[in-house]
Structure 1
Amino acid sequence: MAALLDYNSSSENYYASLIQGQRFAVIPELLLDSGEILDSCPIAYKTWGRLNETRDNVLVICHALTGSSDISDWWSPLLGRGKAFDPAHFFIFCANVLGSPYGSASPLTTNPRTGRPYASEFPQTTVRDDVRAHKYVLDALGVRSVAAVIGGSMGGMTTLEWPLCTEQGYVKSIIPIATAADHSAWGISWAEAQRQCIYSDPKFDDGYYEPRPEGQPSAGLAAARMVAMLTYRSCVSFDARFGRKPQRQQKSRPVQDPPLDLPRTDVPVATATPTQTSTAKERSERQSWAARRDPSFSAQGYLHYQGQKFIQRFDANCYLHITNKMDAHDVTLGRVQADEENGDGDSALRRVLAVAPPGALVVSVETDALFLPEQQERLAACLPNATLAMLKSSDGHDGFLLEFEQLGTLILEKLRRDLPQFYGSVDNDTAWLEDHAMQPGGDSLTGEVESW
C-alpha cells in the first residue's frame, strides 16, 4: 500500500516543480520486474473529479514518453465538462511513470541508501512496474475498480498492461491509441539513435552531471529530440508546413535562461596548434563554416526550436531510462510457453490478451510512421471483440496529440456506450476548473500544440 502525502517528496527535483498541483504518494518498498527493490518510492500524480459511493467511476489516463501527470497540459481539449474526460461524472487519475523527471522515482530521485541522486544507477523499470506502482496509489485512494484506461504511444503500452497486471475484471474498458503489442525493431532503432546522441555529448559523463537544465548534456539531448521529432511527424506534414522556406526571424519574446548550446549544422575544421599560425585562408574557411552554423531553412529552425524547448523541461538520464522502458515492452514476455514463442505469434498474443476486457477501442493514426497502422490492426484482431478506429491526420504519430476533436468524439462515444451508469448522476462542484483550466495553445509544457 502507498502512503498518501500532503507535501512534495521531490522538493530537490527541479523538473518536478514544473508540473503544478501534483500530489504525492510513497510506496515503502516496490519490487521491480528486475528483482531490485526501490525503497521509499515516490509517485507523483494528479486527479480531477470525485470518487462515487461505489468507488468505481475511475478513468486512468496514461501519458506518453515525455508527457506528465497533468492531462490539462497535453490533452486539455479532452478534459472538462461535457468532454471525453468529464470530472462531473468520473474520478480521473494520471500519474507520472517511473523514470519520469516530473516527480515519480527516477534517476533524479535521492537514493535513500546513499543520500545522493540515483543518476545512471537508477534500476531499470518496465511498463508493468508502472502499472503496479500506480495501482498501489489507487488502492490508497480507495479505488475499488477502474471504469476505463486510456493512453497513447507509451501510454497505450501502459493501457494494454493494466488489465494484464491486475485481477480480471478490475479494469472494465481500455482504449489503446497509436501503440503496439510490442516495440518494433524500427522503434528500437530510432530510440537507439537518440540515445547515442546523448552518450556522445562529453557533458553526459556517464550520467553523473548536475541534474538541472544548465548542467545536463544539453547538446546531446537536444539532438535526440530533433531525431525523435522526425519519427513523431510525417514527410507530408513537414513538406506542407515548411517546404524550402528560409529560416524565419525569431520572435521578440525573451529566450529562457540559461542559454544552452545546441548542436550545429557545421563541419569541424582543424584548429591551429600553439606552434602554428592560422593562415588567412584557414581563417576564411572557419568564418565560412561559422556562417553556416545557424539554420538556413525553416525546417531546421523548427528542429532547433524543439531541441531548445526540450532541454529546458526534460532530463537526459530520464530520457535514456524511458526509451529503454519502451524498447522492453512486449505484452507476451513471460506469459507464453516456449513452443508458443516459436509458433504463430498472433495466436500467442490472442491468448495473452484474452483476459483484457471485451470491446476495446483501438485507435490508429493513418500517417503514423513510428507505430504503424498495421500494428493497431493486429491489436484489434487479437483483443476480444475489439474495434479499430482511424484518425485522419497528416501529422503522423503526433496526430493523437493534435486531432483533439476526432479523438474526443471517439472516446466520449465509447465511454457513453460502455459506461452509461456513470452519466446518470452529475457532480456540479466545479472548483477543479480554477486549478485545471485549459492551457492556451503556445503555453503547453509537454503537449505538442505549439506557437512556433
Structure 2
Amino acid sequence: MEPLIYRAPGPFALELGGRLDELRIAYHTYGRLNARRDNVVWVCHALTANSEVADWWPRTVEAGRFLDPAEHFIVCANILGSHYGTTGPLHDDPATGRPYYGSFPPFTIRDMVRAHRLLADALGIDRIAALVGSSVGGFQAVEWAVMEPARIGRLALIATAAKASPWTIAIDETQRMAIEADATFGEPRPDAGMQGLAAARAIGLLTYRGSEGYDLTQQDREELPAVHRASTYQRYQGEKLCRRYNAYSYHAILRAFDTHDVGRGRGGVAAALGRIEARTVVVGITTDIIFTPAEMRALAAAIPGARYRQIASPFGHDGFLVEHEQLNDILRPFIHA
C-alpha cells in the first residue's frame, strides 16, 4: 500500500539552525476517524521502519488486536530523514536541484515530532486517544507527550527512554564509524556507503538481540561448519538492509537519535516527565540490553501515575516485534480501557 503524502506549507525550520525549504511527510492510516474524532491511535516508528505499520509490526493491525482498524483511526507517519517518503537525504535540495546526500541538514527528535504535529493538525486531529512508541519511536512519543500534554490521552512507551544514554550513543557512534569507514560514503550517489551500512546493521543487530537470542537461534548444525550459521546471519541481515535503505538516511537518523533529551531546556528529565498528563504504561523486556528493565522501571516511576509492565522474551530488544501475544495482552486492555 503506497503512503499518502502531506506537503507542509512554507519552509520548515530545524532546531539546530538549518531549514528545509520543502517538507513532505509520508504516512499511512487504517480505519476511519469517528464523528467525535476521539478514536485516534498514533504509532511512532523506529529506525528503519516505515509508516506502514502492518508491514513491520506483525500481528498488531488486526481485528481484536491493540491496533484494531474496526475501532480506531490508526496513523503512522514516516520520520524525518527516512528512506520511505518523508523528506530525507535522497530527496532533491530545492536550492541546487540535486539530492542532498551528505549535505542534508542535521535534525533532532524534536524536529521529527514537530513535523508530525503539522500532519496531525492538517488531518484535523486535536486529540490523540493513544500514542504508541517503541524503541526510537518511544523517543518521539515521550517527547510529544511532554511537548503537548493536553493532546495525548494515553501513552504507551515500549523499550525506550526519556534521554539517549552514553551506552545508546556509543552504539550509534560505532555504527556511524562503520559507515564512515566505507571509502565510498560521501560520494554523491544513492548507493554510496553500502558496505559500511551492511556492517553497521550487523553491529546494531548484536544489541537488538543480545547473546541469549543469538544462542537460541544461530547454533551451528554440524560440528565444524565451513561457515558458521551466525556469520551467514550477520551478512544476510546487512545485505538485506542494503536492498531497502541507504547509508545517508541511516547515518543522519542515528545522529538525530543522539540528540534525544526531553529535559533539554525544561529543567531536566524529571521536570519534563512531570509535565505528562497522559495515562501511561511503560513496557520493558526481560533481556533487553539497550533499554534494560531497570531503566524502564525508573522511567515509569518518573511519569505521574505510570504503570510498569514487562514482556518475558529471550529475543532482547527485538522482543517487542516477536512477542505478539504478550504485547497485545498488555496494550489492548490499556488502549481500550
Match of 2:305 in 1: 385
1:312 to 239, 243, 247: 243
Match of 1:210 in 2: 189
- Quote the Cα distance in structure 1 between the aligned partners of 2:209 and 2:121: 38
Q: How many residues align?
A: 336
- Within 5 A, what are the aligned runs for 1:245-264? 245=221
1:37 to 19, 22, 33: 19
Shift of 1:76: 3.0
- Quote the Cα distance in structure 1 between the aligned partners of 2:126 and 2:119: 12
The amino acid that maps onto 1:185 is: P
Shift of 1:246: 5.2
1:51-96 Cα distance to aligned partner (Å, 9 max, x none): 1112221111011111110101111301122211011111110011
Larger Rg: 1
Match of 1:413 in 2: 333
The amino acid that maps onto 1:198 is: I
Any conservation in 2 of the 1:353–1:382 contact (CA below 8 Å)? Answer: yes
Any conservation in 1 of the 2:152–2:278 contact (CA below 8 Å)? Answer: no
- Quote the Cα distance in structure 1 between the aligned partners of 2:60 and 2:170: 32
Question: CA 1:384–1:297 in 2, change beyond 3 Å: closer, same or farther?
Answer: same
Any conservation in 1 of the 2:274–2:304 contact (CA below 8 Å)? Answer: yes
Question: CA 1:155–1:247 in 2, change beyond 3 Å: closer, same or farther?
Answer: farther
Tell me the secondary structure at the aligned position of residue 87 of structure 2: coil
Match of 1:361 in 2: 281
In angstroms, what is the RMSD of aligned CA positions? 1.6
Tell me the secondary structure at the aligned position of residue 22 of structure 2: strand
- Within 5 A, what are the aligned runs for 1:42-441? 42-166=24-148, 168-204=149-185, 206=186, 208-211=187-190, 215-245=191-221, 296-336=227-267, 348-417=268-337
- Quote the Cα distance in structure 2 between the aligned partners of 1:159 and 1:349: 15
- Quote the Cα distance in structure 2 between the aligned partners of 1:128 and 1:247: 51
Shift of 1:374: 1.8
Question: CA 1:202–1:247 in 2, change beyond 3 Å: closer, same or farther?
Answer: farther
Question: CA 1:247–1:160 in 2, change beyond 3 Å: closer, same or farther?
Answer: farther
Shift of 1:184: 1.1
Gaps of 5+ in 1: 1-19, 250-294, 337-347, 418-452
The amino acid that maps onto 2:33 is: L
Tell me the secondary structure at the aligned position of residue 125 of structure 2: coil
Any conservation in 2 of the 1:61–1:93 contact (CA below 8 Å)? Answer: yes
Any conservation in 2 of the 1:247–1:298 contact (CA below 8 Å)? Answer: no
- Quote the Cα distance in structure 2 between the aligned partners of 1:333 and 1:360: 21
Shift of 1:368: 0.4
The amino acid that maps onto 1:401 is: L
- Quote the Cα distance in structure 1 between the aligned partners of 2:77 and 2:41: 12
Any conservation in 1 of the 2:194–2:246 contact (CA below 8 Å)? Answer: no
2:3 to 22, 26, 40: 22
The amino acid that maps onto 1:119 is: Y
The amino acid that maps onto 1:188 is: I
Any conservation in 2 of the 1:247–1:300 contact (CA below 8 Å)? Answer: no
Any conservation in 2 of the 1:132–1:165 contact (CA below 8 Å)? Answer: no
1:319-344 Cα distance to aligned partner (Å, 9 max, x none): 011111111111101111xxxxxxxx
- Quote the Cα distance in structure 2 between the aligned partners of 1:123 and 1:176: 28
- Quote the Cα distance in structure 2 between the aligned partners of 1:246 and 1:118: 48
Any conservation in 1 of the 2:263–2:271 contact (CA below 8 Å)? Answer: no
Shift of 1:247: 10
Q: Normalising by the residue count of structure 2, what TM-score does the alignment of the two structures yield? A: 0.96
The amino acid that maps onto 1:45 is: Y
- Quote the Cα distance in structure 1 between the aligned partners of 2:239 and 2:211: 22
Question: CA 1:247–1:157 in 2, change beyond 3 Å: closer, same or farther?
Answer: farther
Gaps of 5+ in 2: none
Question: CA 1:416–1:45 in 2, change beyond 3 Å: closer, same or farther?
Answer: same
Greater strand share, structure number? 2
- Quote the Cα distance in structure 2 between the aligned partners of 1:398 and 1:389: 16
Shift of 1:243: 2.8
- Quote the Cα distance in structure 1 between the aligned partners of 2:82 and 2:223: 33
- Quote the Cα distance in structure 2 between the aligned partners of 1:139 and 1:304: 43
